[in-house]
Every structure is written in C-alpha cells, then in structure tokens.
Structure 1
Amino acid sequence: MIVVMAGGRSSRMGKEKPVLKVGRVPMVLRVYEEVSKVDESIVAVSRHTPKTRELCIKERIEFIETPGAGYVEDINYLLRELGPFISVSSDLPFIKASDVYEIKKEFNGRISLTGVLPLSLVPRDLNPVVYRGYAIVGVNAVGVEGEEFFILHNPLLALNVNTPWDLELANRIAGLVR
C-alpha cells in the first residue's frame, strides 16, 4: 500500500499545498498518478486539507482521514490503521513511479526506510533538510521496527514544494520536463 501524505497545515506556503498546480496539474494528482502505477494507493487527508478531500471525491480517488495532529502522529495513526506502508509526500511534483518502485522492492514490512539523496545530486539553489550528510526526501517505507536510510537517485526529489518560491521553481521546471 502506498499513501500520499496530503493532510498537513502548509504553514510556510500559507495555502493548501496538495491542490496547488505544477504544470497545470494539482500536485496531489501528479504524485498519485505516479505512485498508483506501482501499487494500490490512497491519499491521506485531514481537517487541514478540505479542498484536497473534495478533489479526491471529484476524481474518485480513495482517501483516508487522519487526525491532522502532525506528521509523526498521522504516520503512527496510518501504521495502526493500515499496517506497514510506503508514504510519499504530496508536495513532490517530480516523483517518478521508478523512485517508489525502488524503495518498495527493498521494503520488508518491518524496518522503516527513509528516502535520501546524496548531497552531490541536489541541484544548486535548493535547500533540502540535511541529516547525516544526506538530503531527506519525502519518500519513506514505514515499518514497525528500526530505521535505515535508502538512497534514491532522482535529483528532482530534492524539490519539496514548501514555499511560493519552491512553487515558482517547480512550475519553471515543469515546463522543461515530463
């Protein structure tokens, strides 16, 4: 099972991010289109994302309501409800099915895998979250014990759309790729 995480507060953006368009397509739909090529998929929404819920209903996309108490709390809720799963942030407009497939084939359902990029692959001008020398990206396998890094290779995973500047950059890139 793959869960597209689309229930956050979007505090840095100031708007409901999953429905914002990159290349004329709402980000949540771009992500869902790719991940659903790999496995059964569902969108996680919360009280913070009513427009995303409406879009899922309109597009006939299955969704699950989370408490919306925060990322960790929502992940734990989903783990209790669904068991081990793969999570993909809805604000990764350039995720590819192959990225998700890579982590899925390594996931054993027990040990969590945190998707990371080597810093050498991060495009200039992007400022991802860095931990232990890697850029953390929003692709994870959520298990029940331990955690390991899983190295991905798509440089555009470093573009997590959190701010208006990120959205503008994503739209410029969307005009060049896909």
Structure 2
Amino acid sequence: MIIILAGGKSTRMGKEKPVLRIANKPMLLWIYEQAEKVDEVLVALSKNTPKTRELCLREGIPFIETSGKGYVHDIQELLKEFGPFISISADVPFVKASDFWLIRKAFDGKTSLTGVLPLSLVPNDLNPVVYRGCAIVGLNAVAGEGEEFFKLSNPLLALNVNTLEELELAEKIAKLIYSPKLSKI
C-alpha cells in the first residue's frame, strides 16, 4: 500500500499544499496518478486539510483521517492501522511510478527505508534537507524495525514544495517537462 501524507499544517507555505496547482493540476493529483500505477493508494488527511478532503471526495480518491498532531504521530497511527507501507509527502510533485517501484521492490516489510538522493544529483537551485551527506526526499517505506537509507536517482525528488518560490519552480519544471513541443522531440 502507498499512503500519500497530506494532513500537514503547511506553515511555511501558508496555504494547503496538496490542492495548490502545478500546470493547472492539483499537486496531490500529480503524485496520486503515479502511485496508483504501482499499488493501492490511500491519502492521509487531517483537520488541517479540509480542501484536500474535498478534492479527494470530488476525484473519488480513497482517504483516511489522522489526528494531524504531526508527522511522526501520524506515521505511528498509520503503521498501527495498516502495518508496513510506502509513504510519500504530498509536496513532492515529480515522483514517478518507477520511484515507487524501486522502493517497493527493496522493501522487506521489516526495516524502514528512507528515500535519499546523493547530493551530486540535487539541482543547484534546491535546498533539500541534508542528513548524513544525502538529501532526504519524502519517499519512504515505513516499518516497525530500524531504518536504512535507500538511494534513488530521480533528481526532481529533491524538489519539496514548501514555499511560493518552490511552487513557481515546480510550475516552470512542469512546463518544460510537459511542453507539447518537447514531447515531440
């Protein structure tokens, strides 16, 4: 199972991030459309994200409500309810189905995997969270025992949309990637 974590307070953005549009599509849908190619998908909401709840109802996307007390608490709630799962933050719009497949294939259901990118793959314009020399990317496999880093190779995973500047950058990237002229090349 893949769970999209969409119940945060969005304090840095000041707006409910999962419903913000990139190339005229809510950010949550960018992620959901890739995830559903790989496995059953559930969106984890909270009282912090009423517009995201409306989007899920309108689009027929299955969801569950968590307490919204914080990332770690919500993860623990979901782990207790569903057992091991793949998680993705609702603000990583350029995750690909292949990224989900890679982490799913490596996941044994016992040891948590934290998705990371080598810093050499992180585009210069981005300032990801760095831990132990790697960029943390928001795509994880959640289990009850231990934790290991899992190296991914999609540089766009480093774009975690937390600010208006990052939203503008995501818009520019989407236009480049999905431009009709470029898709013919």
Equivalent residue number for residue 161 of structure 2: 161
SS across alignment from 1:18:
helix
Deviation at 1:81, TM superposition (A): 0.6
Equivalent residue number for residue 53 of structure 1: 53
Deviation at 1:162, TM superposition (A): 0.2
SS across alignment from 2:18:
helix
Equivalent residue number for residue 173 of structure 2: 173
Larger radius of gyration: 2
Deviation at 1:125, TM superposition (A): 1.4
SS across alignment from 1:176:
helix
Runs of 4+ residues deviating >6 angstroms: none
Gaps of 5+ in 1: none
Residues 1:141 and 2:151 aligned together: no
Equivalent residue number for residue 38 of structure 1: 38
Deviation string, structure 1 residues 101-128 (Cα, Å, up to 9, x no partner): 1000010110000000000000011000
Q: TM-score, normalised by structure 1?
A: 0.99
Gaps of 5+ in 2: 179-185
Deviation at 1:155, TM superposition (A): 0.2
Equivalent residue number for residue 68 of structure 1: 68
CA RMSD of aligned residues (A): 0.5
Rounded to whole Å, the distance in 1 between the matches of 2:177 and 2:92 is 14
Task: Number of aligned residue pairs: give it.
Answer: 178
Deviation at 1:23, TM superposition (A): 1.1
Equivalent residue number for residue 124 of structure 1: 124
Rounded to whole Å, the distance in 1 between the matches of 2:161 and 2:6 is 12
Equivalent residue number for residue 150 of structure 1: 150
Q: TM-score, normalised by structure 2?
A: 0.95
